Amino acid sequence: MFTKKNILPGFNLSLGYTILYLSLIVLIPLSAAFIKTAELSFNEFWEVVSAPRVVASYKLTFGASLIGALINAVFGLLTAWVLVRYKFPGKKILDALVDLPFALPTAVAGITLATLYSAHGWIGAWLELLSIKVASTPLGVIVALTFIGLPFVVRTVQPVLEDLEAETEEAAASLGANRWQTFSKIVFPAIWPALLTGFSLAFARAIGEYGSVIFIAGNLPFVSEITPLIIYIKLDEHEYAQATAVAVVMLVISFLLLFAINGLQWWLSRRNNSSY
């Protein structure tokens, strides 16, 4: 198993630390959630996690996260492209702007978005004229989740695009490929795994998001109530086991989705490599 000798020693030590670190930071807190949930019998568990209101919240949370991540995949790619391929004044500033959703406390983002998109806000007032309501609707949830997910796609795609030398495109063109062929056959396959990583990061981040959504969502049961809020409500009712039960369901769904995305990525990169 460990037959290949590395030049730098220390595999055992570093693996040991990795496992210890992951256990302390990730595994132990997560398994605590599972242990707490085990206080419920299976029937109780099922009743809690399949209640219509809770199911409605899964749909909203996962649906809005997916839409937000898809929007980011498209526009994040565009942003990354512009930032890598073109030179224009103010580029540095634009580049720094991308990280803002990372740095801004989520509650600040939420309050700002809610104010902007409310019926009397700068943006909301105009949308109101078109009778589009954003604040206090599922649309508001999507807006918030798109906002917080933006940096993930840009920052994962950007370095790959930078590494992609313009020569490959020139070579493709000189061999007779048209613009679309160059993009779809040369550029896109190279950045696709990075784009997928960015997408899944943005998606995962959105699923767990609470702070920025809570102010803009409206939090109406069955309409705009996200799953993290359901968990919060259950905690406030001192129903800890029920809260962790819902959390466990979220965890499992998230894990399966991320696992599937990672699998897809692995498969894609293998297919790409073999075609060289």
Partner 1 sequence: MQTFKYLKKTLLISALFLPLTGLAADVSLLNVSYDPTRELYVDYNKAFASYWKNKTGDNVTIKQSHGGSGKQARSIIDGLDADVATLGLGYDVDQLYEKGKLIPKDWQKRLALNSSPYTSTIVLLIRKGNPKKIKDWDDLTKTGVSVITPNPKTSGGARWNYLAAWAYAQKQGGNEAKTQEFIRKLFKNVPVLDTGARGSTTTFAERGIGDVLIAWENEAFLAQKEFPGKYEIVIPSLSILAEPPVTVVDKYAKKHNTEAVAKAYLGYLYAEEGQEIAARNFYRPTLASIAKKYESQFPKVNLVKIDDDFGGWQVAQKKHFSDGGTFDQIYQK
Nearer Cβ to partner 1 (56/258): 56
Q: How far is the CB of 234 from partner 1 (least distance, A)?
A: 8
3-state DSSP percent of the chain in helix, strand and coil, to 5:
80, 0, 20
Binding residue for partner 1, selected from 106, 242, 244, 265, defined by CB under 8 A: 242
Task: Find the shortest distance in angstroms from Cβ 109 to partner 1.
Answer: 15
Window contacting partner 1 (CB under 8 A); options: 87-95, 119-127, 142-150, 264-272: 119-127
Residue 115 interacts with partner 1 (CB under 8 A): yes or no: yes
Residue 238 burial (C-beta neighbours within 10 Å; 0-12, 13-18, 19+): exposed
Stretch that binds partner 1, among 25-33, 164-172, 186-194, 230-238 (CB under 8 A): 230-238
Helix axes 106-117, 138-163, angle to 10 degrees: 120
CB of 149 to partner 1, least distance (A): 23
Amino acid at 58: Y
Q: From the CB of residue 93, how many other CB atoms can be counted at a distance below 10 Å? A: 8
Under rule CB under 8 A, residue 95 binds partner 1: no
Nearer to partner 1, 87 or 238 (CB): 238
How far is residue 220's CA from residue 21's CA, in Å, rounded to a whole number?
40
d(CA 44, CA 117): 40
When asked if residue 114 is in the footprint of partner 1 (CB under 8 A), the reply is yes
Residue 198, both tokens:
């960015």
Restricting to residues 11-70, name those near partner 1 by CB under 8 A: 52-53
Among positions 125-144, residues that touch partner 1 (CB under 8 A) are 135-136
Closest CA to 228 of 254, 208, 245: 208
Interface with partner 1 by CB under 8 A: which residues? 52-53, 111, 114-115, 118-121, 135-136, 214-215, 218-222, 229, 232-233, 235-239, 242
